[in-house]
Amino acid sequence: MKIALAQLNYTIGDFEHNKQKIVACIDEAKKQSVQLVVFSEQAISGAPAYDLLNKVSFLNLCEETLQEIATHCEGISVLIGLPVQGANKTISVAALIENGRIKRYVGKQTILSRDEMCYISPSKGCEYIKIAGKKIAVVVGEDIRTEQQYGEYTDIIVNLCNSTYSRGIVEKRYDFYRQLAFMTGKPIVYVNNVGGQTDVICDGSSAFINSRGEAIALLKSFEEDFQIVDCDADNEPIKFPKQNKTVNVFKAIRLGLKDYFSKNGFKKACLGLSGGIDSAVVLSMAVEALGPENVRVLLMPSQFSSDHSVEDARTLAENLGVEYQIVPINETFAALTTTLGPVFGELPFDVAEENMQSRIRGMMMMAISNKFGNVLLSTANKSEIATGYGTLYGDMVGALSIIGDLYKSEVYDLARYINRDKEIIPINTIIKAPSAELRLEQKDSDSLPPYDILDAILYRMIEEGQSREEIINAGFDEEEVYRVYNMVLTSEFKRYQYCPTLRLSTCTLGINRHLPLTNKYGY
Amino acid sequence: MKIALAQLNYTIGDFEHNKQKIVACIDEAKKQSVQLVVFSEQAISGAPAYDLLNKVSFLNLCEETLQEIATHCEGISVLIGLPVQGANKTISVAALIENGRIKRYVGKQTILSRDEMCYISPSKGCEYIKIAGKKIAVVVGEDIRTEQQYGEYTDIIVNLCNSTYSRGIVEKRYDFYRQLAFMTGKPIVYVNNVGGQTDVICDGSSAFINSRGEAIALLKSFEEDFQIVDCDADNEPIKFPKQNKTVNVFKAIRLGLKDYFSKNGFKKACLGLSGGIDSAVVLSMAVEALGPENVRVLLMPSQFSSDHSVEDARTLAENLGVEYQIVPINETFAALTTTLGPVFGELPFDVAEENMQSRIRGMMMMAISNKFGNVLLSTANKSEIATGYGTLYGDMVGALSIIGDLYKSEVYDLARYINRDKEIIPINTIIKAPSAELRLEQKDSDSLPPYDILDAILYRMIEEGQSREEIINAGFDEEEVYRVYNMVLTSEFKRYQYCPTLRLSTCTLGINRHLPLTNKYGY
């Protein structure tokens, strides 16, 4: 039997567009005498669709599109995912189309993703179908993780999934499916979505694994792909490609950024360039995803900016061939402080004035965004967002955060990867001590622990959920642990108002980590 | 049998504080020979606790606190709500304490609130206990809405709940319980939480309803209360008080604002006063909740501000006895436009410059907030937030939105109520045509439909989920409906970054209404 794996990049709610892609694959499969084409979970709608999953008109369009797809399925079988109205709430199903007719739905039982919990309700789970004489176990989404018993006469397990990217997931997912194939002694086909949906990125990486846990087909990561496997043939196993976390993060950000722009009809981006590592990496990624002609930057030095900052920023813009302008903030800052003089009286320079500088820059970037229609990219990193080191409405402004799920040390890893062939990001940007440059001689290390220690504490706190005591027992300084914990807790209100952040881990700060702002417990 | 109803205002995660309140009620009940004290759902933890409900250490503290409470329960029975670890996930239970010992847990089965769906899993539901010879059906939360069959020998139904305020809920809830008591022929006791938790407000309004659907005890709305009922006595029915929606909104905002400040340890608020209706209502409510000595305002006129705006703002501040300062934005605006001149070139004045003015004001307010530690209140209303008429990082700045769930017409209702005894808000503020005053002679009606029409369309779209076609069929202008729909859809990104909004309806915009930003479907 020939099975086709169709790993496509869908747009949420763009039924016509999604249908055309799907039908093109079915047509190609028919040409190549394929018996079964497998698409991913919620392919017809795109995912995650959130509140749209509660709208009857949205679900109706999903089923109408399925009907239209079915008319293209003469002489072929198709398994394709979509959300449909269940008894009470919406369910996620794999529809089986045979010879132009919709034969049945196989529902999903296990709802693990917070993106779905409020919308999708559990359905029956794994069911068996017969195609070309083979008994196929059809499994939707995370049911593959709970359903471990398959009938003795099962020939193939087919899993339609929507597995989002997070650091290290590609290799972990390969391992999971290999082990499952080996343990059950059944070949497994799984087809994943690929592409960015606002902050969510699916990496694809679909595969056909034989009953010995070897790969027979491996679809691309971070790209669309379509492959056909003759599962009765004597297929030569393929080596699983070695994964590099930084390379995958690079590809994930590029895909997420590209799709955010193309799917929303945006073309041009803008950002503020400080000479520091964060904006350097964001600019490099923007140029990578959108092209230098679609990115513009402002350099906004103040009296506290060092010469090398402006120089480094300028060099980077020139290395990348990006339009830049230098717009000092001094005059606006002076006007603002003069105006507020009678209100502030004799009070000394403090965080208010530091933040004013950051907010003038935010305001200038938004003016560029409004005037020229450029979408502003946030340059904040995860260490900064976690500790509240960024200024709300200042350097935290932006429509999309592309490195907001990377700790500072991971931002450096990415910078070194960007420079893999030649020096794009000036080496000085990478080696100098980080500084917000909002007052004289300021260094990040004045108010934060060194980044290697900070990141290690944050990682234990956020990704591993460790308590203060556990982190201290692991050898970290007690005072520093308490200070970091406290910074994270008291800055929750800033994250509440932060823009969508491309998810590169399982613990992205923001909308998917929800602490009550009124909370005496801490975390 | 004497039953006490304890309707208290808890703080999330403040176990010691919550315990003290609870124990004080138990002590008082013992003095008065009460047999059973009923507390609300999740009383020990406070609700909604979101991610904290997944933390083992948090749940452990809940159970430890319950143990400590039990030591105060010699000679008395107590029903009290808390979250505990269930088989897989956290469940919400009523704990029964009898004579100093924790006897059992009755779990909740029905999870309807989006605040709980990702955290609380369904448990067994309604169970029966016997106290002082009476058979009591114990029902937690929304199970009261699904459990309609009670055993023949049931003497009383007791419902521990956490029912949040929304416009009109108080009267609807009374009706629901009256009808349920009448239909089942059983008396019902229900005890609700009271108080604000960030954006969520519980109004209390607990009651003891007899089997004829008459009230025997009615606890206060928007305040703590403690009442004792002897259910064997011949209790005179009490009249259900007439509810006024605007009065309840007034009380809800006052409570939500007060608790946001007191529970977070904040004292002073600040806001920008424009002379318009929105900031006038926000200031009046802030003074009502926090006192005039704890609120400071800035008047930030521009070249486009009319004289009457400044005058109206000044009059209001003086009427309320609030400290105000006048800080024109002209100089900062001039400096900013001069600096950006080389970037903007010959491009005409447009939305970029309009937003710049709004953002300078936002920046000035944040400077006040940073310098003096005042918490900034947002002055945006629901009509504005829905249509995206506000400026992101401009007039949308703030830590808490207190009228963000009121349509413009409801803001006027509230203004009239604030003026019920004397003219606090200048009448001119109420009668003049609304204007953002960001360019010459600007009126809101230049870019928005008249507010009565706009609000009617928005209400049908947002609160009632009507489609464009349904709204047009109800007699609204097709072009206007499409325009409003489009404004709402294209401004989703602004709401994503908006601050917490006191919830006064079942469809508060913001975190609880989640559309994918990348979305070709619309809504």
Q: Say yes or no: B189 contacts chain A, CB-CB below 8 A.
A: no
Q: How sure is the predictor about A448, in pLDDT bands with cuts at 50, 70 and 90?
A: confident
Q: Which of B120, B339, B400, B438 to mutate to test the interface with A (most CBs of A within 10 A)?
A: B339
> Which whole-number Å values give the CA distances from A72 to A7, A12, A24, A101, B310, in the listed order?
18, 22, 10, 10, 67
Q: How sure is the predictor about B446, in pLDDT bands with cuts at 50, 70 and 90?
A: confident
What's at B196, amino acid-wise?
A: G
Do A245 and A267 touch, CB atoms closer than 8 A?
no
Contacts of A138 (CB under 8 A, 6+ apart): A79, A94, A96, A106, A126, A127, A128, A129, A158, A160
> In this model, does residue B523 exceed pLDDT 90?
no
Instruction: Report pLDDT for A273.
Output: 97
Nearest to B332 among A61, A335, A393 (CB): A335
Share the mean pLDDT of chain A.
Answer: 95
Q: What is the mean pLDDT of residues B17-42?
A: 98
> In this model, does residue A512 exceed pLDDT 90?
no
Residues of chain B contacting residue A44, judged by C-beta atoms under 8 Å apart? none
User: What is the nearest CA distance from B119 to chain A, expressed in angstroms?
Assistant: 9
Instruction: Report pLDDT for A342.
Output: 96
Helix B330-344 / helix A330-344 crossing angle, nearest 10 deg:
170
* A130: β partners: A135
Nearest to B520 among A11, A198, A367 (CB): A11
Q: Say yes or no: A53 contacts chain B, CB-CB below 8 A.
A: no
Residues of chain A contacting residue B392, judged by C-beta atoms under 8 Å apart? 366
Give the end-to-end CA distance of chain B in Å, rounded to a whole number: 54
Instruction: Report pLDDT for B445.
Output: 79
| Chain A (62-91) residues lying within 8 Å, Cβ to Cβ, of chain B | none
Q: Say yes or no: A132 contacts chain B, CB-CB below 8 A.
A: no
Q: What is the mean pLDDT of residues B106-111?
A: 96
User: What is the nearest CA distance from A201 to chain B, expressed in angstroms?
Assistant: 12
- In chain B, whose CA is at the least distance from the CA of A53? B515
Do B259 and A518 make contact, defined as CB atoms within 8 angstroms?
yes
Please tell me the distance from the alpha carbon of residue B164 to that of residue B201, in angstroms, as a whole number: 6
> Rounded to the nearest 5°, which phi and psi values hold at A207?
-160, 160
Do B366 and A355 make contact, defined as CB atoms within 8 angstroms?
yes
Q: What is the DSSP string of B23-41?
A: HHHHHHHHHTT-SEEE--T
SS3 A288: helix
Instruction: Report pLDDT for B312.
Output: 96
Share the mean pLDDT of chain B.
Answer: 95
Instruction: Report pLDDT for A254.
Output: 98
Question: How many Cβ pairs within 8 Å bridge chains A and B?
Answer: 225
Q: Which of A193, A255, A508, A518 to mutate to test the interface with B (most CBs of B within 10 A)?
A: A518
Tokens of B104: 């059992």
Per CATH, domain A248-444+491-496 is 1.20.1090.10: no
Least-confidence region, from A456-470, B188-202, B304-318, B440-454: B440-454
Instruction: Report pLDDT for B391.
Output: 95
CB count, 10 Å around CB of B160? 32
Instruction: Report pLDDT for A514.
Output: 81
Instruction: Report pLDDT for B307.
Output: 83
Contacts of B491 (CB under 8 A, 6+ apart): B386, B387, B388
- In degrees, rounded to 5, the angle at the alpha carbon of residue B490 between the alpha carbons of residues A368 and B496 is 80
Instruction: Report pLDDT for B510.
Output: 85
Residues of chain B contacting residue A519, judged by C-beta atoms under 8 Å apart? 12-13, 49, 52
Do A520 and B465 make contact, defined as CB atoms within 8 angstroms?
no
Q: Say yes or no: B520 contacts chain A, CB-CB below 8 A.
A: yes
Express each pLDDT in B378-406 by its tens digit: 999 999 999 999 999 999 999 999 999 99
Please tell me the distance from the alpha carbon of residue B110 to that of residue B133, in angstroms, as a whole number: 29
> In this model, does residue B513 exceed pLDDT 90?
no
User: What is the nearest CA distance from A437 to chain B, expressed in angstroms?
Assistant: 18
- In chain A, whose CA is at the least distance from the CA of B337? A332
Please tell me the distance from the alpha carbon of residue A341 to that of residue A133, in angstroms, as a whole number: 84
> Which whole-number Å values give the CA distances from A324 to A274, B29, B341, in the listed order?
12, 73, 15
Instruction: Report pLDDT for A444.
Output: 78
| Chain B (406-435) residues lying within 8 Å, Cβ to Cβ, of chain A | none
Instruction: Report pLDDT for B211.
Output: 95
> In this model, does residue A205 exceed pLDDT 90?
yes
Q: What is the mean pLDDT of residues B430-441?
A: 82
> In this model, does residue B442 exceed pLDDT 80?
no
User: What is the nearest CA distance from A286 to chain B, expressed in angstroms?
Assistant: 18
Instruction: Report pLDDT for A193.
Output: 98
Q: What is the mean pLDDT of residues A50-63?
A: 94
Residues of chain B contacting residue A258, judged by C-beta atoms under 8 Å apart? none
> In this model, does residue A438 exceed pLDDT 80?
no
> In this model, does residue A442 exceed pLDDT 80?
no
> In this model, does residue A441 exceed pLDDT 80?
no
Instruction: Report pLDDT for A105.
Output: 98
Q: Say yes or no: B261 contacts chain A, CB-CB below 8 A.
A: no
Least-confidence region, from A88-102, A143-157, A264-278, B412-426: A143-157
> In this model, does residue B139 exceed pLDDT 90?
yes
Express each pLDDT in A133-168 by its tens digit: 999 999 999 999 987 789 889 999 999 999 999 999
| Chain A (477-496) residues lying within 8 Å, Cβ to Cβ, of chain B | 493, 496
Do B134 and B156 touch, CB atoms closer than 8 A?
yes
Instruction: Report pLDDT for B399.
Output: 97
> In this model, does residue B340 exceed pLDDT 90?
yes
Q: For residue A108, what is the DSSP state?
A: -
Burial class (CB in 10 A: 0-12, 13-18, 19+), B102: middle
Q: What is the DSSP string of A371-436?
A: HH-PEEEE---HHHHHHT-SPTTTTT--SEESSTTS-HHHHHHHHHHHTSSS--S-HHHHHSPP--
Do B343 and A259 make contact, defined as CB atoms within 8 angstroms?
no
Instruction: Report pLDDT for A152.
Output: 86
Enter the pTM of the model.
0.95
Residues of chain B contacting residue A393, judged by C-beta atoms under 8 Å apart? 362-363, 366, 393, 397
Q: How sure is the predictor about A132, in pLDDT bands with cuts at 50, 70 and 90?
A: very high
> In this model, does residue A224 exceed pLDDT 90?
yes
- In chain B, whose CA is at the least distance from the CA of A340? B327
- Per-domain residue ranges for chain A? 2-243, 248-444+491-496, 449-487
Q: Say yes or no: B340 contacts chain A, CB-CB below 8 A.
A: yes
Q: Say yes or no: B20 contacts chain A, CB-CB below 8 A.
A: no
> Which whole-number Å values give the CA distances from B154 to A337, B79, B137, B180, B186, in the listed order?
71, 17, 7, 14, 7
Please tell me the distance from the alpha carbon of residue A399 to that of residue B496, in angstroms, as a whole number: 10
**Residue with token string 């847990």:** B105
Give the end-to-end CA distance of chain A in Å, rounded to a whole number: 54
Do A331 and B352 make contact, defined as CB atoms within 8 angstroms?
no
User: What is the nearest CA distance from B264 to chain A, expressed in angstroms?
Assistant: 6
User: What is the nearest CA distance from B33 to chain A, expressed in angstroms?
Assistant: 34
Tokens of A50: 């959130």
Provide ipTM, 2 decimals: 0.94
Q: Say yes or no: B56 contacts chain A, CB-CB below 8 A.
A: no
> In this model, does residue A57 exceed pLDDT 80?
yes
Please tell me the distance from the alpha carbon of residue B289 to that of residue B283, in angstroms, as a whole number: 10
Tokens of A408: 């500072």
Burial class (CB in 10 A: 0-12, 13-18, 19+), A421: exposed
Look up the CATH superfamily of A2-243: Carbon-nitrogen hydrolase (3.60.110.10)
> In this model, does residue A304 exceed pLDDT 90?
no
Least-confidence region, from A431-445, A502-516, B37-51, B81-95: A431-445
**Residue with token string 């350099």:** A299
